[in-house]
Structure 1
Amino acid sequence: MDMLSFVRDFNLLLAVILTLAYFYQLVYLVIGLTRRKRRALEQEVRQHRYAAVICARNESNVIADLIQDLKRQNYPAELLDVYVVADNCTDDTAAVSRKAGAIVYERFNKVQVGKGYAMDYLFHRLKAEGRTGYEGFFVFDADNHVDPNFVPAMNRTFDSGKYDALTSYRNSKNFGDNWISAGYGLWFLREARFLSGPRMALGTNCHVSGTGFLVSARLVEENGGWPFHLLTEDIEFSVNCAIQGKRIGYCEDAVIYDEQPVTFKQSWDQRLRWSKGFYQVDFKYGLGLLKNCFKGGRRGFSCYDMLMTVAPGMLLTLLGIVFNAIVLVACLNETTYMAKLVIDETMGFLGMAVVNFYLGLFLFGVVTTATEWKKIQVAPAQKVLYLFTFPIFMFTYVPISVAALVRRVEWKPIYHGAKGSLRAQE
C-alpha cells in the first residue's frame, strides 16, 4: 500500500468511527428541536423532606445570597434544611453562612481535598448525629442563584418514585460578561436542551453536572455516603449510577443560575481539572461501562451513552490531526509527484478538520441560542456575537486535553462574585 492510500484509509477510518459512535446524538438533536414541553399534570404530590448541601471554600462574598434563595423557596420551610460545609476556609464563610440561617460544619483536611470529600464528610456527620429524616439531598455550589420554584418543581418529579437522582436546567448568572462566560453558558444550555431533555423523553439516564442536582437519601445510604472523589465527582457518580442501573432524571422546570469564569486562566484551570477528571473516570470505569453496554435495554444504552460522554473522542480527533501533521512535515522536503499528492491530502484533511469543527460547533450554538433565546438574558446583539466565539472557546479544549494527559492536576478555587452577574444586577 502506498503512502497516499494509507493516509486516505486512515482518515476515512477515523471519520467512520467517530460518525458511528456519535450518530445517536443526531437523534438527540432532532428530539431537542421537535420535543414540546410537557404540561405538568394536575395531581396530588406529597411534599418530601430535603436537605440542601453547599460545600464552600472561601465563598463569603456570595454564599449568603444562595442561602437566602433557599430560604425563599415556594416550599414549606420546615421541610427544607440548609447545610454548609465550610471546607478548609481561611475567610469568614462559616460565620456568614450561620448568620444567613444555615447549619454549618467546618472541615479542615489538607490531604483529602475536594467537593466529594466534603460531601462524604457531611453525610457521615448527619448519620452520626441522627439527622436521618431526609428523603433527598440537593447539592449546590455557593455561587448559584436558585429560582423560587426550584424545590417544588424537583419535588414533583422526585415524587414519581422513578428516579434515584435528578438534574436541573442550568442557566448562567453572567452569560454576557465576555466570550468565556458565554461559551460556558451555551454549553450548559445545550446540555439541558439537547442531552438531558432527549434522554428524559427516551427514558434513558441523564447525568448530573456539578450543581443543582438532587440525590435520594436511599441512594446515599446504599453508597455508604459519597464515595466519589475523582476530580469530576459528578461524572463519576453519574457513571456509577449507569453501571448500577440507578436512574437519573431531568426536571426542566427546576432552574438554577450558575456563575461562570471570566478569565482565561481560571477557565483553563477549571477545564484542565474537568479533562483530567474525565481521563480518571475512563481509567476507573471504562471497562465496566463497556461490559454493561451489551446488557441491552435502558441500562445498556445508558452505559453506552455515558461511555461516549467520558470516552476520549477528542483524542481520536487529535490523533488524526497529529498523524496528518507528521506526514505533512515528513513530505515537505520531498519533490516527487507522490509526495505532492500526500501533502495535498494531509493539508486538505487538516483544513477540513478545522472548518468542520468550527461550523459544527457554530451550528450547535445557533440551534441552542434559537431554542433558548428568551432564557439567555443578554442583548440580542450579544447573543449573535457569541455564536461566532463559541467554537473558539470550544477549540481551546484541544490544548487543554493534551495538557491534562501529561500534567498532574489538583483542585484550584475559582473566584466568584462577578460584578456583571445576574445577582449583581438585581
Structure 2
Amino acid sequence: MFEQMLSHMTFVDVFNWSVLLVFSICYIYQFYYVFVVLTRKPPLQEAKANHKYAVMISARNESQVIGDLIHSIRVQNYPQELISIFVIADNCTDNTAEIARNAGATEVYERFNDEEVGKGYALNYGWHEIQKRDDAESFEAYFVFDADNVLDANYFREMNKVFDGGAEASTSYRNSKNYGSNWISAGYAIWFLREAKYLSQARLTLNTSCAISGTGFFIAAHVLKESGGWKWHLLTEDIEFSASSIIEGRRIAYCPTAMLYDEQPITFIDSWNQRFRWAKGFYQVFWHYAGKLFKGIFTNPKGKRFACYDMLMTIAPAMLLTIISIGFNGTIALLAIFGVISAGTMITSALSSMFFCLFNFMLFMFIFGVLTTFTEWDNIHSTTAKKIGYLFTFPIFQLTYIPIALVALVKKASWKPIAHTISVDVEEMSQTGMK
C-alpha cells in the first residue's frame, strides 16, 4: 500500500512532504512544551538575602516615557538603597537626560556617537562608565530595560529570588501596556505572552536554558566583567548574548512572577522596520553561532546539550521553509500553466500545496493565539471584545513576517528609531498577584 501511494506521488508531492517532515521533526518538541506548561507548575523560589543591582537603560529621544519607567523602579517593593539607575542618553536631541535626572536616575551618561549605533554599543558605553564609580564593585548584577517599559511593583523582589537562587542571567514575563491600541500592538503582545508562557516557562520547568528577549532581564556582574563589558553588537544583541551564553554552558533562567510592561508599535511602517531588523539580526546570529550550537549538541556537558538544540531551532530561519515551499509550488504552477512543463496533476498539486502551507500556518498561529489569550486572560489589559477580536488578526500579523523575512535576506538593515509616546499610570498597570 505504501509503495502504491509512492507511485502516485509527483516530485512536487515528494518535495512538499519532505519540507513538512523536516519542519515537524525539528519543532515537535515545542508541542511538548505546551503540554508541560498545562500540566506542571513552574518551580518556586524564595530569597535568603537581598542583593544590590545596577539598572542600565539605553534611551534615545525617550522624553515622553522615561519618567514612567524610573518612577516604576522607585516605587518597587524592594529596598531602594539596593537599586541604582543609570540612563544612557544615546544620541539624544531632546531633553531625555534632564527628565531622567529629575525623575530619580542615579546618574545619566550622555553619549554621542553616530558610527557605533545601536543598543549594544550604548550598553557597553554605560557599563564602562559605571566601572569608574567608587561603588562599582558593589553591584552584583545588571538589569537592562528599554525606556518605554514600566514594571510591576514586585518586579525586583521576584527577580531577586531568581538571582539569589544562583542564576547568572534571567529574563522575565513580558506583557504589553498598549495591547488594545490596534491589531499590530495586539499581535506583538500575544507573541510575547506566548513566548513567556509556552517557551520560557516550559524551559524553566524542564530546567533547560531560556533566551533573553529584548528587555526585562538581568546579567550577573561577573559575566559582564569576564566579557569586558557588553560585547554583543549584532542587530539582535539579546539573541546573540543568549546563543553565546548557551554555547558556553551558561543557563539563562526565567521568572514568571516578575512582570514587565512593554510598549508595542502601532503603525505598520514602524512594525515593518522593527521586525525587519529582528529578521536580519536572527540571520546574523545564525550565521555566526549555528555551527557552534550544532557542535554543542554533542559536546556540551550532559544536561546542557538540549539547550544548544533549542537555541539552534530558535535562530534557525524556519520561516524560509514556508517561503521556499510557497515559492517552489508557485513556480511549478506557473510553469505548468504556461506549458513549460507537462501539466498533468502538477497544477493541482502545486496550488493545493500552497493553500495547505498557508492554511496550516494561519491555523497554528490562531491556535497559539487562542491558547495564549485564554490562559493569560487576566494579565491582558484590554476589553473582552478586543481580546476576542484580535485572535483573528493575530494570524494575519504573523503572516506579514513572510515578506519581511524574504526582504531581510537581500536588503541591508540599520537601526531606525521608533517613537514611544504612551504614558501610563504605574499603579494602575501594576499587578500584585499573578498566576
TM-score, structure 2 length as denominator? 0.93
Q: Which whole-Å CA distance do the structure 1 matches of 2:80 and 2:158 have between them?
A: 15
Within 1, Cα distance between the matches of 2:14 and 2:378? 46
Q: Percent identity?
A: 49
Q: Aligned equivalents of 2:184 and 2:419: distance in 1?
A: 15
Aligned partner (choices 3, 7, 20) of residue 12 of structure 2:
7
Q: Distance in 1 between matches of 2:176 and 2:309?
A: 29
Residue identity in the other structure for 2:422: A
Name the counterpart of 1:151: 156
Which residue of structure 2 lines up, in the alignment, with residue 217 of structure 1? 221
Aligned pairs, number: 421
Q: How far 1:35 moved relative to its partner?
A: 2.4
Structure 1 residue identity aligned to 2:399: F
The residue number in structure 2 matching 1:95 is: 98
Is the aligned partner of 1:193 residue 2:204? no
2:324 to 314, 319, 323: 319
Deviation at 1:40, TM superposition (A): 4.8
Q: Hey, what does 2:171 align to over in structure 1?
A: 167
The amino acid across from 2:29 in the alignment is: Y
- Whether the 8 Å CA contact 1:207–1:238 is kept in 2: the answer is yes
Distance 1:372 1:424 in 2: 20
**1:247-286 to 2 correspondence within 5 Å?**
247-286=251-290
The structural deviation recorded for 1:366 is 0.6
* Superposed displacement of residue 39, structure 1: 5.1
Alignment of 1:331-370 (within 5 A): 331-334=336-339, 339-370=343-374
Alignment equivalent of 2:388, drawn from 384, 390, 394: 384
Post-superposition offset of 1:125: 1.5
How many angstroms apart in 2 are the aligned matches of 1:5 and 1:104? 65
Report if the CA contact (8 A) 1:178-1:262 is conserved: yes
Instruction: Kindly indicate whether residue 68 of structure 2 is the aligned counterpart of residue 65 of structure 1.
Output: yes
Return the offset for 1:132: 2.3
Contact 2:43–2:205 under 8 Å retained in 1: no
The CA distance in 1 between the partners of 2:110 and 2:64, in whole Å, is 17
**Mean CA deviation greater in 375-384 or 326-335:** 326-335
Shift in Å, 1:418: 2.9
Please tell me the residue identity of whatever aligns with 1:182: A
Q: State the distance in 1 between where 2:261 and 2:169 align.
A: 19
Distance (whole Å) between structure 1 residues aligned to residue 22 and residue 316 of structure 2: 13
1:265-291 CA-to-partner distances (Å, cap 9, x unmatched) read 000000000000000101111111111
- Are the counterparts in 2 of residues 144 and 256 from structure 1 also a CA contact under 8 Å? yes
Match for residue 291 of structure 1 among 285, 295, 298: 295
Match of 1:329 in 2: 334
SS at 1:340 equivalent = coil
Unaligned 5+ runs, structure 2: 1-5, 430-435
SS in 2 for 1:168: strand
Change (3 A) 1:298 1:38: closer
Distance 1:409 1:399 in 2: 15
Give me the whole-angstrom Cα distance separating, in 1, the residues matched to 2:39 and 2:266. 33
Q: Is the 8 A contact 2:56 2:143 kept in 1?
A: yes
The one-letter code sitting in structure 1 at the alignment partner of 2:41 is: R
**Shift of residue 324, structure 1, vs aligned partner:** 0.7
Where does residue 433 of structure 2 map in the other structure?
Answer: none
| Cα gap change, 1:273 to 1:37, in 2 (>3 Å) | same
Q: Displacement of 1:160 after TM fit?
A: 0.8
In the TM superposition, what is the alpha-carbon distance from 1:133 to its structure 2 partner? Answer: 1.3
d(CA) in 2 for partners of 1:387 and 1:295? 42
User: Which amino acid counterpart does residue 87 of structure 1 have in structure 2?
Assistant: D
Check the 8 A contact 1:126/1:132 in 2, yes or no: no
1:252 partner amino acid: P
- Helix, strand or coil for the counterpart of 1:229? coil
Q: What is the deviation of 1:334? A: 3.3
**1:4 Cα shift?**
5.8
- Counterpart-to-counterpart distance in 2, 1:37 and 1:125: 38
Q: What CA distance in whole angstroms lies between the structure 1 residues aligned with 2:291 and 2:340?
A: 47
**TM-score, normalised relative to structure 1:** 0.95
Could you tell me which runs of 5 or more consecutive residues in structure 1 were left unpaired when the two chains were aligned. Answer: none
Output the amino acid matched with 1:327.
Answer: I
For residues 178 and 108 of structure 1, the distance between their equivalents in structure 2, rounded to whole angstroms, comes to 35
- Larger mean CA deviation between 264-273 and 116-125 belongs to 116-125
Q: Which amino acid in the other structure matches residue 74 of structure 1?
A: N
Q: 1:82 aligns with which of 81, 85, 108?
A: 85
Counterpart AA for 1:311:
A
Shift of 1:333: 2.8
Structure 1 residue 381, shift from structure 2 partner:
1.3
User: Which residue of 241, 245, 262 maps to 2:249?
Assistant: 245
Asked if structure 2 preserves the Cα contact closer than 8 Å seen for 1:4 and 1:342, the reply is no
Shift of residue 423 of structure 1?
5.8
Equivalent pair of 1:4/1:341 in contact (CA under 8 Å): no
Q: Show CA shifts across 1:284-332 (max 9, x none).
A: 1111111111136332110110100000011111111111111110001
Q: Distance in 2 between matches of 1:66 and 1:219?
A: 25
